[in-house]
Amino acid sequence: MNMSDTLTGLPPLDGTVKRGGSLADFTWFRCGGPAEWLVKPSDIEDLSQFLSQLDPAIPVLPVGVGSNLIVRDGGVRGVVVRLPKSFADIKIEDDHRVRAGGAAMGITVASKARDAGIAGLEFLRGIPGTTGGAVRMNAGAYGCEAKDILIEATLVLRDGTVEVWPLEKFDYSYRHSAVPQGAVVVDALFQGEPGDPEKIGAEMDRIAGEREASQPLRSRTGGSTFKNPPGHKAWELIDAAGCRGLTIGGAQVSEKHTNFLLNIGGATAADIEALGDEVRRRVFEHSGIELEWEIRRVGDPE
């Protein structure tokens, strides 16, 4: 039992528990409040045991690298689960399949597939998050989505039950799945096809170059802020509404790609969320189209 468990009153865990664990240290916006408890399990069994004994009234929020997340300034109540490197293994299986742990980064999965001569996973090079996050939100880029390559994934549900879900059970739609609240995606099996590593690498380089040219990758940002409405591109609607470069406090609409919000220095989560809401208001006023948030917003206001 970890010594910190005796301080928190939480169930025993072989991994680590930190009360008031910082989320701003690793989320991409680098702002927002702490987790009431930041939990890092050692393996699937450890996570399952912990959740099965955790008071059902305590909320659980899984977080990857926080690349598409606004954590509000008052922090997150309950348990935030962050999978450590022990969940980042990637294995090549028969029939051009790739099994990736929930903490494995998209770029690493794509690179392993390339090295094994497996094509079809190149788009993961353009997704700056973890496998677990990609499966949960049906992440996509460059014409492909998680649902196009997923065979099955292993989930640890909020009550500690471990289930393997086939693709169909996720009931995928645009940036949405049926993964229930508090469930943690701990691994996924992806289907590729035979390919030439050089051609796969060239496609990954093309994706990387396109991202570098069009997105503010070296800034404190949260990825695509709003979903693309049917028949429209969010960035075009935002630009047309005159929001390019708009600022509130330390938050700014990127001048490079208007569907990205930036922390240009000292922004609070409230600044970023208020800026997003102002963008939505102006777009609706200009075009009559209501933008939907793609970035997840979690926690309490300060």
- Measured N-to-C along each axis, helices 106-115 and 197-214 cross at an angle, to the nearest 10 degrees, of 150
How many Cα atoms are found within 13 Å in the side-chain-facing hemisphere of 104? Answer: 26
SS3 83: coil
Q: What are phi and psi of 93, to 5 degrees?
A: -115, 175
Is 294 an active-site residue?
Answer: yes
Give the tokens for residue 285: 């006023």
Active-site entry in 99, 136, 175, 280: 175
Is 224 an active-site residue?
Answer: yes
Is 175 an active-site residue?
Answer: yes
Query: What are the Cα distances from residue 162, in Å, to 51, 167, 182, 189?
Result: 11, 16, 13, 16
Active-site entry in 125, 224, 254, 273: 224
The residue ranges of DSSP E strands in the chain, in sequence order, are 16-19, 35-40, 60-62, 69-71, 76-81, 90-93, 97-101, 118-119, 140-141, 144-145, 150-156, 162-166, 184-191, 193-194, 220-221, 247-248, 251-253, 261-263, 296-298
Q: What are phi and psi of 168, to 5 degrees?
A: -60, -30
Query: What are the Cα distances from residue 233, in Å, to 111, 115, 205, 226, 236?
Result: 29, 34, 24, 9, 5
Q: Cα(112)–Cα(106) distance, rounded to whole angstroms?
A: 10
Give the tokens for residue 286: 């200009």
SS3 108: helix
Instruction: Of 104, 99, 71, give the one whose Cα is nearest residue 87.
Output: 104
> So which residues are the catalytic ones?
175, 224, 294
